[in-house]
Structures are given as structure tokens and as C-alpha cells.
Amino acid sequence: MFDPLGLLHDFRIALRARYVRGPFSRAVYEFVTFGVKQAWACLFGGLMLGLILLTYVYYPAGAALTRYDFLTLGAITIQLSMLLFRLETLGEAKIILVFHIVGTVMEVFKTHMGSWIYPEASVLRIYDVPLFSGFMYACVGSYMARVWRLFDFRFERFPPLWAQAGLAVAIYINFFTHHFGPDIRLGLFLAAALLYGPSVIYFKPDEDHRPMPLLLGLFLVALFIWVAENIGTYARAWTYPGQESDWHMVGFQKLGSWFLLMIISFVLVSALHRGSRKTSVKA
């Protein structure tokens, strides 16, 4: 079976043996390796964004298959290929599917409430939501699952899973209920800070684990998702009110929304690693 991850690992080892000699070259090599691993973890999301941009720049006018339906079929192909080539485990795919369903349900509700729209026609859809939209949430879940494995995550003072699950449920409920009652997202931000603030994540870009405050890591992931969302709205995969005729950047308040939503994905992946999660780093 073709093993791209194994080939990448062998290539990385060969580069290190040939070019890494002193502290400076070691630091540069580790930085580049970090970037390569991050890009590899983003494979699903990167391919989806590439399809969105490519079809925005050129998609045949009057084609029998609509652009949105093409994106849906492309997303299914990517997901099946990642399983076929063992880029994701079956357990990871199940967690990603759960997040996919969670995201699709929210999409149906949010489009009904007018939070955003999908301006183009499609056949493969649920109400006003084309089916490819759920795969955008799957991209986040895929990244979380793959980056955890690629960087061999370990933690100090990792919050209890039951507490994380409670926060995730409260976040998800608030995405719906704030349309009819008080928006408690400030309280959710505070709860996330209290829950994850003491925790440290150790990630392994090369040979050694490096520490980072877990809360900072979660924020940086949300920031990159926000950047990706700006690319998606620019390519009219979906649009927010006011973007119908003149595109502008998505507001920073959406960064907070992605931070909260991304916590749900993090909790789901944490559940996948329950029992096998490493919580210490050898000196």
C-alpha cells in the first residue's frame, strides 16, 4: 500500500542527516518541518479551498452539474481518498463525520435565520444548504485529528473530558438560542479561559517536544480558520449580509465564533484519544 506519510518521514530523516549540522541549521530545519507538518495536517482543508478558488475563477457557464454540486462530489472524493490511502484512520473519520453532522444541522438553522446564504443553485442540498458545506466543518475536524497525531500531542494539566464536553454542549446550544434569548458567548469565552488556561500542550515538530499554552494554540487555529473563511467568502462559496454585491473581509467577531466552534472539534478529537492520550513529556 502506498504510504505518503512514510515517504515524507524518510525524506525528512535524509535531509536532517545531510544538512543539519549546528544549532542554526537545526532551528531552521525544525521551523521548516513544523510548516510542512502543518500543511500536511491541513490537506483536506487545503484541497477544499483549492477547489473553491479554482471553480470560482473558472467553472463552465451552463454546465449540467452546478458548481456547488461539483464541490460536494469533490469533497466526497477527497474524504474517500484519505481513507483509502490511510491518511486518516477509521476512528478519526467517525469523529469527523460527527462534526460534519453537527455543522450541517447548524448550517440549516443559521441559513434559515439569515446569518449567511449560499447564493448559487444546487441539487445536492438540504433546504438552503448545499451538502458541501458540511465538509467545511469536516475539514476542521480532519485538521484536528491529523495534527494531534502528526505532532504527537502531550499535555500538562489537561482539563477533565467531562468539563470540556459540558463546555462544548453549552457552546453548541448557544449558537441556536442566542437568536431568541441572551447571548452568553462572553461567559463561554471566560469558561474556556478558565478551563484551558492552566493547560500546556507539547508538540513535536522534529525530535523534541516544544511547549505552548493550550489556550494560545486553540486561538491560533481559530485565526487560521478565520483566514480560510475570508478566502471562502471571497470565492462566493457562501456570503454574509452585505457581501452580496461587494465583498469585504469577514468581521473579527467571527473569529470568536470560530474559536468557540473549534472547541467542539477539539473535544471530539480528545474523546477519540481518551485512554491513550499522553499527558507527560520525558525530560
Q: Which residues of 215-248 are buried (b: 16+ CB within 10 A; e: fewer)?
A: bebbbebbeebbebbeebbbbbbbbbeebeeeee
| Dihedral over alpha carbons 88, 234, 105, 113 (to 10 degrees) | 170
| Residue 151 cell numbers, joined | 505532532
d(CA 93, CA 184): 31
Contact between 69 and 124 under an 8 Å Cβ cutoff? The reply is yes
pLDDT tens string, the chain, 283 residues long: the values are 445 555 556 566 666 655 666 677 778 888 888 998 999 999 999 999 999 999 999 999 889 999 999 999 999 999 999 998 888 888 888 888 999 999 999 999 999 999 999 999 999 999 999 999 999 999 999 999 999 999 999 999 999 999 999 999 999 999 999 999 999 999 999 999 999 999 999 999 988 899 999 999 999 999 999 999 999 999 999 999 888 778 888 888 889 999 999 999 999 999 988 755 555 554 3
Domain ranges of the chain: 42-272
d(CA 24, CA 33): 14
d(CA 168, CA 218): 14
In sequence order, the 6+-apart residues with CB closer than 8 A to the CB of 88 are 82, 96, 142, 145, 146
Contact between 203 and 153 under an 8 Å Cβ cutoff? The reply is yes
Give Cα separations from 188 to 118, 194, 245, 252, 261 (angstroms).
29, 10, 34, 17, 11
Provide the H-helix boundaries in the chain.
4-19, 23-41, 43-57, 67-84, 90-113, 132-150, 161-177, 185-196, 214-234, 253-272
